[in-house]
């Protein structure tokens, strides 16, 4: 063997020996690690940790088995719209979420959250160990965490299904739920759920509520800078509160914009422009004052939900504030404000207060569009600062209607039974009958009896008709407070046990204006879910109550009330109109209900605690309010005949 060959052999033998030693130590290390894992596993088993993790996994699976999209669409604020489709009220709840679908969320908002919160969002399956390493590295190098270790899916799992308590058990279950969420829902759905449910401080959940709350506009109208500004808040709603810590919010906005630029989501020009943009908070819009119309809308919507779902009142009322419904109404803001102003102005001289500080003399009124039968305006009292609009007298207060009831319960039914406007009737006092305020005229026409509001004639005709027949017409128009005691002759003059509401009376006269066909009065045109799907379109319950000929003739008679009768001179200029006054005993209640070809309006004036005043009659405050309101309401409308 040559010297060179011998040296090679020795070197090879030495390397083999070192390799064998290395292999030995490597295997020894593997065995040691294996024993460590076995030991750790044994300790975990002995201390119950493994069983706990298994239990948490099973619990997460159970949660996901019952999971549905509804879990992420709770506590949704409702929205109310007027007849023009404009937002007039928000039905707020504790979380105040105004839900947006994925297509409605600004694309840059999605990009901003992914860029700052979870860069690998579209790559991981709910849990991202790289994010934890990245967060730790950031903490070490920058002494701060610019991106959290929890994925967007984990944050969603924590917000919806778990608490924010810092425990290892919660963190493990959070990971399990997040991974299960990723299997059940798409990335777009999870991002939609996340952006709608995270907290943006000051009571705003979801980007739409935050956008309306901070900028008074919809999320779709936000600039890139405003989007980044809002997306900065949820990381720490206390530290980044735009109202109290705006500087902090702006710093994080800039960080988000920097991330978006580095990730290639926005251009350098977009970045620079957004950073330079001045952020101005505007928290004035959508601060709605609760009005009489709002109270009526909420009540009507609740009743509509009850009828559609079969659930009880409290459940349906709560749904309005948590179900994310969109309530579309027939309330016309111009008519509503005009009716309110007219009542306030006409009663402005009577400022006596009750012991509780409210105005003593009150009024309620309702206006119905004759072409649709929908309520366009409803007022439940006078405007008074500090006084709640919850007690809406227009539909909650039932008062004696006086002579205003006569066309509905006496005269139109009589016109269906061989009476005509020219039928001769006897105006004379009977021993057991009522008196007339203006004396007695003997033989007169039925038309004159109505125009002059002769109680004696109404009493006699009603006796012939019978209370059973007369009251059947009111029941057919859903008058809700008829009692057994009302089946008596005093009902002909409005002498009821409980009375009627302004809403009921107006709907009754609207039936005459509609040629005898009754339409259930409501202001709800439809209710949709947050995606625009119609879930309720109220049944209008249209049916004939009076014969068309009788309704026509009654209208013709009631026109004379405004030209020759108790409301003489209060007709509408250049517009045919008809109506009837009503005054109860001792001038306790005053009414006027009348209509044109376009609208029917009913007005009541009186005291909440019934008492009389000589200044009150159907021919004073009520007809003055009616005339003033209806005159302005008809400005610019072409004249046409009633029942045309």
> Which residues lie across from 76 on neighbouring strands?
97, 323
In sequence order, what DSSP letters do the residues of 491-504 get, joined into one string?
A: GGGT--SS-B-HHH
CATH number of 115's domain: 1.10.3810.10
Token couple for 291: 């009005």
Token couple for 226: 């405003």
Spatial distance between the Cα atoms of 231 and 109, rounded to a whole number of angstroms: 7
Q: Is 304 helix (H, G, I), strand (E, B) or coil?
A: helix
Of the candidates 373, 366, 414, the residue with the CA atom closest to the CA atom of residue 554: 414
Of the candidates 374, 294, 362, the residue with the CA atom closest to the CA atom of residue 330: 374
Identify whether 291 is part of a domain: no
Q: Is the distance from CB of 295 to CB of 301 less than 8 angstroms?
A: no
CA distances (Å), 366 to each of 30, 72, 178, 257, 407, in order? 87, 40, 54, 54, 18
Residue 120 has a CB neighbour count (10 Å cut-off) of 12
Spatial distance between the Cα atoms of 313 and 330, rounded to a whole number of angstroms: 23
Looking only at the bridges linking them, the beta strands covering 424-427 and 442-445 are antiparallel
Identify whether 315 is part of a domain: no
Do 44 and 112 lie in one domain? The reply is no
Beta strands in 243-350, from DSSP E residues, in sequence order: 326-329
Spatial distance between the Cα atoms of 526 and 536, rounded to a whole number of angstroms: 6
Beta strands in 11-134, from DSSP E residues, in sequence order: 78-81, 87-91
Q: Is the distance from CB of 82 to CB of 171 less than 8 angstroms?
A: no
Sign of CA dihedral 253, 254, 257, 259: negative
Sequence-distant (≥ 6) Cβ neighbours of residue 444 within 8 angstroms: 424, 425, 426, 427, 452, 454, 457
Q: Is the distance from CB of 295 to CB of 390 less than 8 angstroms?
A: yes
Beta strands in 269-399, from DSSP E residues, in sequence order: 326-329, 361-369, 375-379
Q: Is the distance from CB of 559 to CB of 576 less than 8 angstroms?
A: yes
Token couple for 276: 């330079």
Do 257 and 397 lie in one domain? The reply is no
The residue among 276, 299, 314 that closes a domain is 276
Do 126 and 191 lie in one domain? The reply is yes
Give phi and psi for 104, each to the nearest 5: -90, -15
Q: What is the mean pLDDT of each run of 10 residues along the chain (644 residues)?
A: 53 56 57 54 51 62 70 84 93 82 96 94 83 53 53 88 60 81 92 94 90 93 98 94 95 97 97 97 70 94 92 91 93 97 96 91 98 97 90 96 98 97 96 90 97 97 98 98 96 96 98 97 94 86 95 98 97 97 95 98 96 92 98 96 82
> Which residues lie across from 149 on neighbouring strands?
none
Residue in this structure with the two tokens 């509609």, named with its chain if needed = 514
Identify whether 504 is part of a domain: yes
Do 43 and 135 lie in one domain? The reply is no
Do 60 and 165 lie in one domain? The reply is no
Q: How many independent structural domains does the chain possess?
A: 3
| Amino acid 129: pLDDT | 74
The residue among 232, 254, 276 that closes a domain is 276
Give CA angle at 370 (624, 597), nearest 5°: 65
H or E stretch at 589: strand 589-595
CATH number of 607's domain: 3.40.710.10
Token couple for 305: 């939900």
| Amino acid 203: pLDDT | 83
Supply the residues annotated as catalytic: 117, 403
Give CA angle at 187 (108, 189), nearest 5°: 85
Looking only at the bridges linking them, the beta strands covering 442-445 and 517-518 are unpaired
Of the candidates 260, 281, 146, 145, the residue with the CA atom closest to the CA atom of residue 204: 281
Do 51 and 140 lie in one domain? The reply is no
- Domain around 386: 375-530+542-633
Do 40 and 107 lie in one domain? The reply is no
Do 462 and 575 lie in one domain? The reply is yes
Spatial distance between the Cα atoms of 296 and 229, rounded to a whole number of angstroms: 38
Do 53 and 150 lie in one domain? The reply is no
Identify whether 314 is part of a domain: no
| Amino acid 44: pLDDT | 45
Biggest alpha carbon–alpha carbon distance for the chain:
158
Q: Is 103 helix (H, G, I), strand (E, B) or coil?
A: helix
Identify whether 24 is part of a domain: no
Identify whether 227 is part of a domain: yes
Identify whether 585 is part of a domain: yes
Encode 491-525: b = buried (16+ Cβ within 10 Å), e = exposed.
bbbbbbeebbbbbbbbbbbbbbbbbbbbbebbbbb
The residue among 276, 292, 308 that closes a domain is 276
Identify whether 146 is part of a domain: yes
Q: Rounded to two decimals, what is the model's pTM?
A: 0.79
Do 123 and 57 lie in one domain? The reply is no
Do 471 and 579 lie in one domain? The reply is yes
Token couple for 99: 């839900």
| Amino acid 284: pLDDT | 58
Do 243 and 202 lie in one domain? The reply is yes
| Amino acid 356: pLDDT | 87
Spatial distance between the Cα atoms of 99 and 73, rounded to a whole number of angstroms: 7
CA dihedral 228, 229, 230, 234 (to 10 degrees): 90
């Amino acid at each position: 063997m040559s010297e060179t060959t011998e040296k090679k052999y020795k070197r090879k033998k030495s390397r083999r020996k070192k390799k064998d030693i290395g292999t030995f130590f490597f295997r020894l290390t593997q065995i040691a690690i294996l024993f460590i894992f076995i030991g750790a596993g044994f300790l975990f088993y002995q201390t119950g940790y493994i069983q706990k993790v298994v239990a948490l996994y099973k619990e997460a699976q159970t949660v996901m088995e019952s999971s549905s999209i509804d879990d992420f669409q709770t506590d949704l604020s409702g929205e109310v719209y007027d007849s023009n489709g404009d937002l007039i009220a928000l039905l707020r709840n504790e979380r105040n979420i105004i839900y947006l679908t994925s297509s409605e969320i600004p694309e840059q908002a999605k990009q901003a959250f992914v860029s700052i919160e979870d860069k690998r969002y579209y790559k991981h399956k709910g849990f991202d160990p790289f994010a934890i390493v990245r967060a730790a590295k950031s903490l070490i190098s920058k002494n701060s965490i610019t991106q959290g270790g929890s994925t967007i899916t984990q944050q969603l799992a924590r917000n919806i299904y778990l608490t924010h308590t810092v425990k290892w058990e919660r963190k493990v279950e959070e990971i399990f739920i997040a991974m299960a969420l990723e299997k059940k829902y798409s990335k777009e759905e999870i991002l939609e759920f996340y952006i709608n449910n995270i907290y943006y401080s000051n009571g705003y959940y979801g980007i739409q509520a935050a956008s309306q709350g901070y900028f008074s506009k919809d999320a779709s109208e936000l600039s890139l800078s405003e989007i980044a500004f809002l997306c900065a808040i949820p990381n720490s709603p206390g530290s980044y509160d735009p109202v109290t810590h705006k500087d902090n919010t702006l710093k994080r906005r800039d960080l988000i914009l920097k991330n978006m630029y580095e990730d290639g989501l926005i251009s350098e020009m977009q970045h620079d422009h957004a950073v330079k943009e001045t952020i101005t908070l505007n928290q004035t819009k959508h601060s709605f004052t609760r009005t009489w119309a709002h109270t009526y809308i909420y009540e009507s919507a609740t009743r509509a939900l009850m009828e559609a779902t079969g659930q009880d009142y409290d459940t349906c009322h709560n749904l309005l504030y948590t179900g994310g419904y969109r309530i579309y109404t027939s309330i016309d803001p111009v008519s509503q404000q005009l009716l309110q102003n007219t009542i306030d102005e006409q009663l402005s001289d009577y400022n006596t207060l009750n012991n509780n500080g409210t105005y003593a003399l009150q009024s309620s009124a309702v206006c119905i569009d004759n072409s649709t039968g929908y309520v366009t305006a409803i007022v439940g009292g006078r405007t008074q600062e500090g006084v709640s609009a919850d007690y809406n007298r227009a539909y909650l207060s039932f008062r004696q209607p006086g002579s205003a009831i006569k066309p509905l319960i006496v005269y139109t039914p009589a016109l269906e039974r061989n009476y005509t406007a020219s039928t001769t009737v006897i105006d004379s006092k009977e021993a057991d009958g009522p008196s007339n305020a203006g004396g007695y005229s003997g033989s007169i026409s039925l038309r004159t009896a109505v125009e002059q509001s002769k109680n004696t004639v109404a009493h006699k005709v009603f006796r012939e008709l019978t209370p059973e027949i007369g009251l059947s017409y009111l029941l057919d128009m859903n008058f809700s407070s008829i009692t057994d005691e009302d089946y008596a002759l005093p009902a002909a003059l409005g002498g009821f046990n409980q009375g009627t509401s302004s809403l009921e009376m107006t709907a009754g006269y609207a039936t005459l204006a509609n040629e005898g066909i009754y339409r259930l009065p409501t202001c709800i045109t439809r209710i949709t879910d947050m995606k625009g799907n119609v879930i309720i379109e109220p049944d209008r319950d249209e049916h004939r109550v009076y014969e068309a000929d009788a309704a026509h003739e009654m209208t013709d008679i009631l026109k004379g009330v405004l030209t020759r009768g108790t409301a003489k001179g209060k007709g509408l200029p250049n517009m045919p109109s008809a109506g009837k006054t009503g005054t109860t005993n001792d001038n306790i209640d005053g009414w006027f209900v009348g209509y044109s070809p376009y609208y029917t309006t009913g007005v009541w004036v009186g005291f909440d605690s019934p008492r009389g005043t000589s200044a009150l009659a159907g021919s004073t405050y009520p007809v003055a309010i009616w005339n003033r309101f209806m005159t302005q309401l008809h400005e610019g409308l072409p004249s046409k005949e009633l029942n045309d």
